[in-house]
Amino acid sequence: MADRKAETEGVAFSLLNVQNFAQFRRRERPGKLNGRDAMKLKHVLLGTALTLAVALPALPASAEDGIYIPLLTYRTGPFAVSGIPIGSGMADYLTMLNERDGGIGGAKLIVEECETGYDTKKGVECYEQVKSKNPIVINPYSTGITLQIIPKAAVDKIPILSMAYGLSASADGQNFPWIFNPPATYWDGASMFIKYIGQKEGGLDKLKGKKVGLVYLDAPFGKEPIPLLEALAKDYGFELKLYPVTASEAQNQSSLWLNVRRDRPDWIYMQGFGAMNPTAVKEAIKINYPMDHFVGVWWAGGDDDARPAGPGAKGYLALSFNLTGTNFPVIQDVIKYVVDKGKSQIPKDKVGETFYNRGLLNSIIIAEAIRNAQKITGKKVINGEDLRRGMETLTITAARLKELGAEGFAAPMAVSCQDHNGHNAAFMAQWDGTKWVKASDWIEPLKDKVNPLIDAASKEYVGANAGWPKRTEPCDKSS
């Protein structure tokens, strides 16, 4: 029949006309709903609207007696593969403290998650929503969200803990009294990378003439190390090549790695996160790039970043500032009190992975800061301002880590009034095919290069934002 189109058209013409008129009638008829159904629907909608109108103002009830800690996590979206273990690690440690010790210093911890999907918009919305419940600290877990919230923190008097992410310049405590980013900034990390490859090449002066490639996510997070790497390139004479990955093309990186293949950099540093990482590792394997010359920042060193690439990913390096594994008393406690009791949101075999442990470390920092704040102020239930003081005088020594059951888990860290970061050391971890293992000693950052840059960047930030509030909070004595 399809071959005799013309004839059938003639036959069907009258039917088609009917169809046309039917379309005409469509426009005039008031939709498929007749009057009665419309009324019923209207009643339903009206009822729903009334319910909402009643419920919405009955909105966020402020926290009962306890310390409210909101966690801005992402369990959906392209970064969920990393966000899920981090978020679970953060939540599980705090839950363990509640279960095992009844809170901190007698005050219970109220933990609530807000889903951001690593989306800056949703992150800001989450911030606005939790603001009214008196949170003591905000962990945005996204550099993009952190950048948006930084100006609001000082006005709303809520400290932000952006552990090893966020704005590198916010390490300057003088200009950013409410922002904290221990144990190391991205600039520290990039300098550690340069130091490491300098070691491998036989001295930092041997880097002259070499090519270093930076594969980065084309977002505020990814662009962070660029100023430092450019400065170091000038100092040590290596050539820096930039390879940006657009977030929407994170899984389609073949052209980018063809460029890498054309340029053949001697070393590659990856400032990547989320779904971009495993794809990058796979592409690097495809172009036969030597894995032991491929170094990722600490957020590119997750188990799910290397494992999907298969056996070829062996040798891939990444910076890290916490150890993996469950061989620490504190993690055993977490397993006993939280995971085995079914209060955790991830399966047991994921406990001990790099990102899970990192989320745990984040919560350890928060808990220690709370303890410190309780000591300074003498209050049990502290608020945001108290926590700021507690965080600013925070020192976690190696002995304290041992008390916590985390001996050797991370490097000891100290935050001070002027230095909200500490510029602590990290180490190189290497993927051995099944897990991450420590592959170098603790590497100190090039503080003499990083600190002047941070001061300059901090001044520039304040200058660009007219009306940036001057610091009025006094410096407590270090505890």
* Contact set for other proteins, span 375-434 (CB under 8 A): none
Reduced to 3 states (helix: H, G, I; strand: E, B; else coil), residue 179 is: strand
Q: What span, in angstroms and rounded, lies between the C-alpha atoms of 175 and 459?
A: 8
3-state SS, residue 264: coil
Contacts to other proteins from residues 152-211, by CB under 8 A: 152, 154-156, 167
Distance of CA 375 to the CA centre of its chain: 30
Instruction: State the binding string over 40-79 for other proteins (x if CB under 8 A, else -).
Output: -xx--x------x--xxxxxx------------x-xxxx-
Smallest gap from Cβ 384 to other proteins, in A, equals 15
**Among residues 31 and 474, whose Cβ is nearest to other proteins?**
31
Q: Which phi and psi (to 5°) does residue 256 adopt? A: -60, -45
Which residue from 101, 105, 107, 113 is in contact with other proteins, where contact means CB under 8 A?
113
At 327, is the secondary structure helix, strand, or coil? coil
Judged by beta carbon, residue 19 or residue 203, the one nearer other proteins is 19
Tell which one of 92, 115, 303, 353 touches other proteins (CB under 8 A).
Answer: 115
Residues 270-289 touching other proteins, rule: CB under 8 A, are: 275, 278-279, 282, 286-288
Residue 410 DSSP one-character state: B
For the bound state, the minimum distance from the C-beta of residue 320 to other proteins, rounded and expressed in Å, comes to 21
In the window 308-337, what residues touch other proteins (CB under 8 A)? 308, 310
Least Å from the CB of residue 115 to other proteins: 4
Q: Which token pair is 442?
A: 């603790």
CA dihedral of residues 350, 351, 356, 359 (deg, nearest 10): 150
Size of the residue set binding other proteins (CB under 8 A): 100
Strand duo 317-320 + 427-431: pairing? antiparallel
Alpha-carbon gap, residue 98 to 101, rounded angstroms? 6
Between CA 184 and CA 423 the distance in angstroms is 5
Phi/psi-derived region of residue 352, left when phi > 0, alpha when psi is between -120 and 50, beta in every other case? left
d(CA 138, CA 84): 18
**Residue 104 or 285 with smaller CB distance to other proteins:** 285
220-259 footprint of other proteins as x/- string (CB under 8 A): x--xx-xx---------------xx-xxxxxxx-xxx-xx
Residue span binding other proteins (CB under 8 A) among the ranges 19-27, 401-409, 435-443, 448-456: 19-27
Helices (H), 117-169: 120-131, 143-156
Pick 102 or 310: Cβ nearer other proteins = 310
- Give me the 130-149 binding string for other proteins, x by CB under 8 A, dash otherwise: -xx----------xx--xx-
Per-residue exposure over 62-100, b if at least 16 CB sit within 10 Å of its own CB, e if not = ebeeebbbbbbbbbebbbbbbbbbbbbbbbbbbbbbbbe
- Residue nearer to other proteins on the CB measure, 152 or 400: 152
- C-beta of 35: minimal distance to other proteins in Å? 6
Q: From the CB of 63, what's the least distance to other proteins, in Å? A: 13
**How far apart are CB 266 and other proteins at their closest, in Å?**
18
